Structure 1
């Protein structure tokens, strides 16, 4: 009888034990996927090349990495584009760092990454050829992303993002097909991966 009682009890509690064990198993990890943004139009001011005079002042285009959309300056934007300049929203504590590495191989925010905010005199993502995300070829008058250059941004919500600029020209044409006289510039194509849980791992 005792043996039978033990078996019945074991059978009765087996589903509960199995359920408990199942609840202790961690949820499956869903791989993060990169988001592709194509032809985000943010042309620079129209400038008279002979005099340097601004003929038409164009606005920055404000972008929310969390929402994957253009927003207004009054909303919680993370980065803003205009010509080759990329701003970060310092009023919302957005910070950025420029690092070297392969986009896919950066699986965590590097310990030596130096995050900065924009100031009145400097940008967290530096401007100028070779300083930030791009090179300018004075022979061909073209702007091209620096290979192996990745931007890290901590968003207004405190989440980390890695960004790779793929093209500065409309339609993301091959470099050899870019004609600076006819190919529209200031059209960003980039991909980014957002870690929504606030951790430093991608």
Structure 2
């Protein structure tokens, strides 16, 4: 009986982990991240529970593992959806890699050329970002400034740092806790496009906000 229950559980977990949904913003089919994490967690929990306590242990372990696996993934899913909804048609790109969400803010909508003062038109957008950060307050927030390769490091490095600092200070002014935020300038050291073209240089002039998972101890209390 135990083997049949475990087999059914494993099969269900595998099916759930492979569920696909349609991204409402891109129309693309993608794996449901929450289901994926929950399915993997259920499998792990079943194996560990089965070793520890036979059939009942496997079933209990699957339930616990599924909840734990889906917990932070579900949180990140909701946060990603809220950010995409808030940032539609703003020019800010939202990317997701596992538990990390990245916002890419091109300089043409955030700063004037060679300046680090946030454009007035961008304040409402950044205010929407701050609102989501306060609602979803488990992440660590890493603000990173980048430039193209024009000029030299003596110009690019401090400019990228100043732009990252401007964004970070605005978030803090909007009551996002300073303890969650770090700001770095990377100058021209991390291009995402070809600096030999005008379009490539424009893409490289950007500020990124990386939303990072909290430390394990903090996450386990959530």
Q: Which has the higher strand share?
A: 1
Greater relative CO (CA pairs within 8 A, separation 6+):
1
* TM-score normalized by the length of structure 1: 0.26
- Highest CA radius of gyration, 1 or 2? 1
TM-score normalized by structure 2? 0.25
The answer to which structure has the higher helix fraction is 2
